[in-house]
């Protein structure tokens, strides 16, 4: 321990003179102050209100170590510990940990056993080496980084790497299917504000995110879409080094692709039959964007959770939809009636045409037959006029008599008054034989 000489400031300086304290820690010895020089002009005010001794001690004497906390320069109990006591405590703690120098322990402390130190070092080294073991689960893939650079991949199971700070190991899940939502926040979605919990701690229902859900269609209508994208890690190297925050990257790419697809699609197909086609186009476009980024992510599925008009106009839109449905129903009924009446009318027209054609052909054939018969009769009449006339007479009388009732009276009967029942004499119906007149001679 060495004490400094007088301070560099003069005796009559108008400021407090600096107390120089030189501490030299010697082996196997405690460091204590040997001398303190402090000069104070008489014209400066005292360090305490009562005119007592200075808390820094009297010049030429060892510093005062009171049993109670020292008082500040403006009086009062400030509760500040003595600097010498703090230094002694620190040195004592260091001496308890470190072994003593030549000649044994310092100030009564026994020397530390070197074997104990060696054992502690060995245990620490073994623990450091054992920290390099790590386990990769079946749904994970291990990645080893050396000073932050990619070294290689490890299979599931127990593996080892050089302990920190030389190498570190990451185990991202490569088979787990992850999900991100576009246009809404799920009830158990930890992203975008954490879990949406109520006052009782139970998850709330999903809530809309209008700045993501509202999109413009190809016919300049606004549509409200909720979309879920399912993805998994395909390449761990690209997943870890090419992107930061894969969830946000997938969500941004899916939202951008959905707006592009909806911008080319009218609102009516988007609400009805085009949902499957939209899902496929969004999936393919999102995967192309992620591949361009080299994100190491594979999109497995895209689902449209909701496709509706905006909430503010959904009732009016439903009224329009009902009117369109009624119009479509009336159109279908008219089409059904047309499909029933038109074929029936066409059938009736075809039947009438066929009947007329048959009658025409029958009349033509009958006229041709009569003309041919007349020609035949004329030919026979030319050859034998008497025979032909006789035959024509007989045939004519036969045709007349067969169509009218006949009464034959024998010439030998005399004095008979003929009775003709004219009211019963009727022409016979076609296909029925003529009935004989009652009382008429046979």
At 192, which CATH number? 3.30.479.30
* pLDDT higher than threshold 70 for residue 282: yes
Give residues with Cβ within 8 angstroms of 343, minimum separation 6.
none
Q: Hey, which residues does 221 pair with through a beta bridge? A: none
Q: Record the tokens describing residue 112, joined without a space.
A: 């530390």
My answer on whether 231 and 253 are in the same domain is yes
Give residues with Cβ within 8 angstroms of 45, minimum separation 6.
none
What average pLDDT does range 342-359 have in this prediction? 92
Helix (H) or strand (E) holding 149, with range, is strand 149-154
My answer on whether 75 and 149 are in the same domain is no
Q: DSSP E strands: which ranges in 272-425?
A: 297-308
* pLDDT higher than threshold 80 for residue 413: no
* pLDDT higher than threshold 80 for residue 44: no
Looking at residue 373, its pLDDT comes to: 85
Domain edge (last residue) among 82, 111, 140: 111
My answer on whether 87 and 47 are in the same domain is yes
Q: For residues 293 and 235, give the distance between their C-alpha atoms in angstroms, rounded to a whole number.
A: 12
Domain edge (last residue) among 280, 309, 338: 309
Looking at residue 362, its pLDDT comes to: 92
* pLDDT higher than threshold 90 for residue 256: yes
Assigned domain for 34 exists: yes
Q: For residues 15 and 41, give the distance between their C-alpha atoms in angstroms, rounded to a whole number.
A: 9
* pLDDT higher than threshold 80 for residue 142: yes
Assigned domain for 387 exists: no
User: Which residue range is the domain that position 89 belongs to?
Assistant: 1-111
Looking at residue 24, its pLDDT comes to: 37
Q: Record the tokens describing residue 349, joined without a space.
A: 């027209």
How far from chain centre, in Å, is Cα 288? 17
Looking at residue 43, its pLDDT comes to: 42
Helix (H) or strand (E) holding 129, with range, is helix 114-130
Assigned domain for 118 exists: yes
Domain edge (last residue) among 81, 111, 141: 111
**Number of domains the chain contains:** 3
Please name which of 1, 198, 177 lies closest in space to residue 84, comparing C-alpha atoms.
Answer: 1
CB 163 within 8 A of CB 157: no
Looking at residue 70, its pLDDT comes to: 46
Q: Give the pLDDT band (50/70/90) at residue 393.
A: confident
Based on the number of CB atoms within 10 Å of its own CB, is 338 exposed (0-12), middle (13-18) or buried (19 or more)?
A: exposed
My answer on whether 148 and 105 are in the same domain is no
Q: Record the tokens describing residue 35, joined without a space.
A: 């001398």
Whether residue 165 is preceded by a cis peptide bond, meaning omega within 30 degrees of 0, is yes
My answer on whether 190 and 298 are in the same domain is yes
Q: Is 57 helix (H, G, I), strand (E, B) or coil?
A: coil
My answer on whether 189 and 273 are in the same domain is yes
DSSP state of 412: T
My answer on whether 107 and 131 are in the same domain is no
Assigned domain for 215 exists: yes
My answer on whether 131 and 74 are in the same domain is no
CB 46 within 8 A of CB 64: no
Assigned domain for 80 exists: yes
Q: Is 213 helix (H, G, I), strand (E, B) or coil?
A: helix
My answer on whether 62 and 164 are in the same domain is no
Give residues with Cβ within 8 angstroms of 145, minimum separation 6.
151, 167, 168, 169, 170
User: Look-up: residue for tokens 């930061």?
Assistant: 244
Q: Record the tokens describing residue 94, joined without a space.
A: 């260091």
Please name which of 165, 183, 189 lies closest in space to residue 258, comparing C-alpha atoms.
Answer: 183
Q: Give the pLDDT band (50/70/90) at residue 194.
A: very low
Q: Which residue has the higher pLDDT, 286 or 36?
A: 286
82-96, 350-364, 367-381: the lowest-pLDDT one: 82-96
Percentage of residues in the chain with pLDDT exceeding 70?
Answer: 66
92-96, 169-173, 341-345, 350-354: the lowest-pLDDT one: 92-96
Assigned domain for 343 exists: no
User: Phi, psi at residue 105, to the nearest 5°?
Assistant: -70, 160
């Amino acid at each position: 321990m060495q004490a400094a000489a007088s301070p560099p400031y003069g005796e009559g300086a108008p400021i407090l003179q600096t107390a120089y304290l030189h501490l030299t820690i010697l082996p196997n010895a405690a460091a204590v102050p040997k001398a303190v020089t402090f000069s104070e002009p008489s014209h400066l005010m005292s360090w305490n209100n009562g005119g007592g001794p200075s808390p820094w001690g009297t010049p030429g004497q060892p510093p005062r170590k009171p049993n109670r906390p020292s008082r500040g320069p403006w009086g009062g109990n400030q509760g500040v510990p003595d600097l010498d006591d703090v230094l002694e405590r620190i040195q004592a703690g260091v001496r308890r940990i470190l072994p003593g120098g030549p000649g044994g322990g310092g100030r009564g402390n026994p020397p530390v056993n070197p074997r104990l130190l060696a054992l502690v070092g060995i245990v620490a080294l073994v623990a450091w080496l054992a920290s390099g073991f790590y386990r990769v689960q079946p749904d994970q893939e291990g990645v080893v980084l050396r000073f932050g650079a990619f070294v290689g991949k490890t299979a599931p199971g127990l593996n080892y790497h050089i302990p920190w700070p030389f190498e570190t190991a990451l185990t991202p899940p490569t088979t787990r299917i992850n999900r991100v939502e576009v246009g809404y926040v799920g009830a158990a979605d930890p992203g975008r504000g954490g879990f949406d919990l109520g006052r009782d701690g139970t998850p709330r229902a999903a809530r809309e995110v209008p700045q993501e859900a509202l999109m413009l269609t190809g016919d300049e209508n606004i549509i409200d879409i909720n979309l879920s994208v399912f993805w998994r890690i395909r390449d761990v190297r690209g997943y870890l080094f090419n992107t930061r925050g894969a969830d946000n990257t997938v969500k941004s790419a899916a939202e951008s692709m959905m707006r592009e697809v909806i911008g080319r699609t009218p609102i009516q197909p988007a609400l009805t039959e085009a949902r499957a086609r939209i899902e496929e186009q969004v999936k393919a476009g999102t995967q192309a964007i992620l591949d361009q980024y080299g994100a190491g992510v594979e999109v497995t599925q895209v689902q449209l959770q909701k496709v509706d008009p905006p909430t503010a106009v959904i009732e009016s839109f439903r009224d329009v939809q009902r009117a369109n449905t009624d119009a479509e129903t009336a159109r279908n009924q008219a089409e059904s009636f047309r499909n029933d009446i038109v074929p029936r009318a066409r059938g009736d027209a075809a039947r009438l045409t066929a009947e007329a054609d048959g009658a025409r052909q029958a009349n033509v054939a009958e006229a041709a037959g009569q003309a041919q018969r007349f020609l035949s009769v004329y030919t026979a009449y030319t050859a034998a006029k008497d025979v032909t006339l006789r035959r024509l007479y007989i045939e004519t009388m036969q045709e007349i008599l067969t169509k009218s009732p006949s009464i034959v009276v024998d010439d030998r009967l005399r004095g008979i008054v003929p009775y003709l029942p004219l009211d019963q004499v009727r022409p016979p119906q076609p296909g029925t034989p003529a009935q004989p007149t009652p009382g008429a001679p046979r």
